[in-house]
Amino acid sequence: MTDLDLLENTEQGNDGAPAAVENGVLYLGIDLGTSRTSVTASNGERVTLASYVGYPKDVVSRKLLKKDVLFGDEALQKRLSLNLFRPLSKGVLKFSEQEEADYEGNVKAAKDLIREAIRLAKPRSDELVYAVIGVPAEASINNREAIIEAARESVDSVMLCSEPFSVAYGLDMLDDVLVIDIGAGTTDLCRMHGTMPDESDQLTLDAAGDAVDAKLEEELAANCPEAQFTRQMVKNIKERFGSVSERIDQALVMLPVEGKPTQFDLTDAVRTACHTIVPPIVEGLGKLIATFDPEFQERLKGRVLLAGGGSQIQGLDKAIEAEMRRTLGSGDVIRIEEPMYGGANGALKVAHDMPAAYWESLR
């Protein structure tokens, strides 16, 4: 079993509180993302790293790097010496039927990434490790199983939950709320109404961080054809200047032109690229609202929770509100305080609240 079928059966003490945490167990909440992986642990450790894994290309790079595998930002910085993997695409393991070797490489990289994330959480050698991993709302059964298999070598027991649900669960916002969880590969939407969400309550969109990067790359190619840049440079520009506000700070960026650093004003390009995800997100919200009990639709519109790394785009909450009011009549959006850890925090809370017998059954 890989989802939260038994969450409502959480063991409780006489006062109604969750049963005490079992000694000798380290609980982990893991947000395994396309761009970044975040972990929160019951021992108080919290860590986030870029979801990149690199292996030395040859004996020369191995001698230079003095490591068999590199992770995160270090892997990105040394990528010219590495076979570099970003093992997740749209929040799930990459798979290409034409290139089975690539899939096998991504599976190995995912296993190593999970192992490194857990190592950074500092488990003791005498502890069992029980982990809840967040996955996109509409991840297929095959993709869920692949992630579970990737985690099994590093944990004693593992289960999955949908990422937007974990955000809401972590904040105790379980009734009359719409969750928007913007990652790099996907944006996940979830309708919470006081019960476990089912498939009809959740929606996964491609309108996310990678889509913004692709659009910004198009804008640069069209408006600055002489400039040289890579997708990683584009991503860095977005993360530095990302905004949909009319009062965006001027985005002045140095890019090489035939090897010479040249300044470009990318203010309009950045704003245009970032805004492209707003209409499809609101359209998705509209679908979840329109298929809900009409008596409670206005309540949902009044509590929209904005989470995920992509939520850090300046002015995004106000832009979604404005689009909701234009197309749906009303809308109020709340940006969560810890966008990088919202999913991991919620997954950790789920891990704590699951009955010990359930964890044992998954071992």
Same domain, yes or no: 75 and 153: yes
Quick check: 154 and 284 in contact, CB under 8 A?
Answer: no
Q: Which helix (H) or strand (E) holds 170?
A: helix 163-170
C-alpha pair distances (Å), 35 with each of 93, 183, 327: 12, 8, 31
CATH number at residue 255: 3.30.420.40
State the pLDDT at residue 12: 37
Domain shared by 227 and 159, yes or no: no
Do 14 and 117 lie in a common domain? yes
139 & 263 share domain: no
pLDDT higher than threshold 70 for residue 222: yes
Tokens of 12: 């409780």
Domain boundary among 259, 275, 291: 275
**What does the DSSP 8-state code read for residue 197?**
-
Mean of pLDDT over the chain: 87
Residue 363 has pLDDT above 50, yes or no: yes
Is residue 292 assigned to a domain? Answer: no
- In the predicted model, is pLDDT for residue 105 greater than 70? yes
Same domain, 154 and 239: no
Give residue-wise pLDDT tens across range 154-192.
999 999 988 889 999 999 998 999 999 998 888 999 999
- Asked whether residue 296 is domain-assigned, the answer is no
* Residue where a domain stops, chosen among 220, 244, 275: 275
Which of 244, 275, 306 is a domain's end point? Answer: 275
In a domain, 306, yes or no: no
Rounded CA-CA distance 202/180 in Å is 10
Region 201-226: what's the mean pLDDT?
94
Q: What domain count does the chain have? A: 2
pLDDT of 77 above 60: yes
pLDDT at res. 136: 78
pTM of the model: 0.84
Tell me what pLDDT residue 13 has: 36
Co-location of 16 and 73 in the same domain: yes
Quick one: pLDDT at residue 119?
95
Q: For the residues 74-82, what does the mean pLDDT come to?
A: 94
- Domain assignment of residue 214, given as a range: 209-275
The pLDDT value recorded for residue 90 is: 63
